[in-house]
Structure 1
Amino acid sequence: MTDPVLAALRDLAEPAPATLADRVVDGWLRVPGPLGEVYAVVGARGVRLLRPAAFAGELDAFLEDYRSRHGRPVRPAPRAPRGLLPALRGRGEGPALDLGDLTPFAREVLAVTARIPAGQIRPYGWVAREAGHPAAVRAVGTVLARNPVPLLVPCHRVVRSDGDVGQYLSGRADKVALLEREGVELAHLEALAAAGTRLVGSDTTGVVCFPTCHHARRITTAHRHGFPSLARARAAGYRPCRDCRPS
């Protein structure tokens, strides 16, 4: 017969503190990504690091580098955190992230970048403005070059202001492949950039957008007009799109 006092104490107690180890030991796992396998390191509060396996190299070296950089032991994780696998397949909101080691500026840059929809791109200057630091374009580039969780925070969707896709931590080819996988027509964007077109507007709505904005994609050829800058678009009587917020 169960002792009622022991039963009451058991009900009041928290589950056995497996979380105690989780607070001091991170977990690693290897999972499929959009361009091949990726290594992920997960802490108690979320994903701390994500790297394409082909870029990160041998697993042992990757884990040893993580230990030395972060001063934390790491062991195999029992399972993928909720949301990680769907996010890597392009679905869902994604897992919790642990970006507590970053500066407030870096966290804000990544938060802005995370809001760029799939299939759309934004220039570095737009990210700087949305993060509240319009003059910090170079600093934005540095933050994104060191993004600890690419694919989850889609820095591949940030490009140069001249229309060139720019670089990526695992190589330009990966950036191009990720964008094309999301349906971005890079050849079309390059042609627009070569013609000096940075924004497109509809003469039926009087709204001007980034070319990859979902509103811009619905503009028919007869009603589409290109502009080299927002200032020129405003001078022609257009207002900026409230969704893509061109700068």
Structure 2
Amino acid sequence: MTDSLLEDLRDLAEPAPATLAERVVDGWVRAESPLGEVYAVVGAGGVRLLRTATYAGDLDAFLEGYRARHGRPVRPAPRPPRGLLPALRGTGRSPAVDLTDVGDFARKVLDATARIPAGQVRPYGWVAREAGHPKAVRAVGTALARNPVPLLVPCHRVVRGDGDLGQYLSGRADKVALLEREGVDLPRLAELAASGTRLIGSDTTGIVCLPTCHHARRITAPHRQGFASTDRARAAGYRPCRDCRP
């Protein structure tokens, strides 16, 4: 069997209870990701920090910075935590993540972001609304810029309200690479953004969606209608999709 299959089979088992040492000492591991090698720091509650090796720079400095910020010792872990490798390969759900070091608002932002499906994007305003703070769009951007576990909480799927992709923790090129890997049609998104089209509706169902919603992608050209806002779509007799909730 391949290493990836063995990893997937291992993930079917329940994780072992944390030992006393695991409760007071965090572990770190290397793993491969779509962006190359990453470093992950893991505590008893899950992955606490994940960074690409390129972004993190010198490993010793990265680990020392973690110790200084969190006040916890960190040592090499014997193996990656359950679910990490399949999640990074895109073949499984995210492993447990420990967000206890972020504030309540940031946790709500990250929870909302984690619900964005692969191959789809959502604007910052959508995340703000889903997090229960619809006017805090700029604060959402700040929270995502400090995301401790990118790739596991997919902040690369959040874009600007004008349709531009915006920035990313480790650079815009990484954001582009991740979205292309998930099958997002970036030239089409750029075309829609340039035309001011923010939503796509079907004149047969009367439903309007965000452009990357799986329902929107099934609308054939003769029945596709573009809208600049939900208000304009409602005025034309359309209702918002219950899945993507534009």
Match of residue 241 from structure 1: 241
Match of residue 108 from structure 1: 108
Q: Work out the CA distance in 2 between the residues paired with 1:114 and 1:195.
A: 29
Q: Deviations over 1:110-141 (max 9, x none)?
A: 00000000000000000000110001101100
- Could you tell me which amino acid in structure 1 is paired with residue 108 of structure 2? E
Q: Is the 8 A contact 2:108 2:131 kept in 1?
A: yes
- Could you tell me which amino acid in structure 2 is paired with residue 229 of structure 1? S
Percent sequence identity over aligned pairs = 81
Match of residue 159 from structure 1: 159
Match of residue 140 from structure 2: 140
Q: Work out the CA distance in 2 between the residues paired with 1:194 and 1:33.
A: 32
Match of residue 9 from structure 1: none
- What are the ranges of 5 or more consecutive residues in structure 2 without an aligned counterpart? 1-16
Distance 1:144 1:18, change over 3 A: closer
- Aligned residue pair count: 230
Q: Work out the CA distance in 2 between the residues paired with 1:243 and 1:74.
A: 41
| Superposed CA RMSD | 0.9
Q: Work out the CA distance in 2 between the residues paired with 1:18 and 1:193.
A: 48
Runs of 4+ in 1 over 4 A off after TM superposition: none
Match of residue 47 from structure 1: 47
Q: Work out the CA distance in 2 between the residues paired with 1:35 and 1:148.
A: 16
Q: How does 1:26-65 map to 2 (within 5 A)?
A: 26-65=26-65
SS of 2:19's equivalent in the other structure is helix
Q: Work out the CA distance in 2 between the residues paired with 1:212 and 1:106.
A: 25
Q: Work out the CA distance in 2 between the residues paired with 1:75 and 1:124.
A: 36
Q: Are 1:205 and 2:219 counterparts?
A: no
Q: Work out the CA distance in 1 between the residues paired with 2:240 and 2:144.
A: 26
Q: Deviations over 1:2-33 (max 9, x none)?
A: xxxxxxxxxxxxxxx97111111100000001
Q: Deviations over 1:19-65 (max 9, x none)?
A: 11111110000000111000000001100000011110011111011
Q: Are 1:186 and 2:175 counterparts?
A: no
Q: Work out the CA distance in 2 between the residues paired with 1:227 and 1:112.
A: 24
Q: Work out the CA distance in 2 between the residues paired with 1:91 and 1:139.
A: 31
- What are the ranges of 5 or more consecutive residues in structure 1 without an aligned counterpart? 1-16
Q: Work out the CA distance in 1 between the residues paired with 2:128 and 2:172.
A: 22
Q: Deviations over 1:186-229 (max 9, x none)?
A: 11111111111000000011000000000000000000000000
Return the index of the structure with the highest Cα Rg. 1
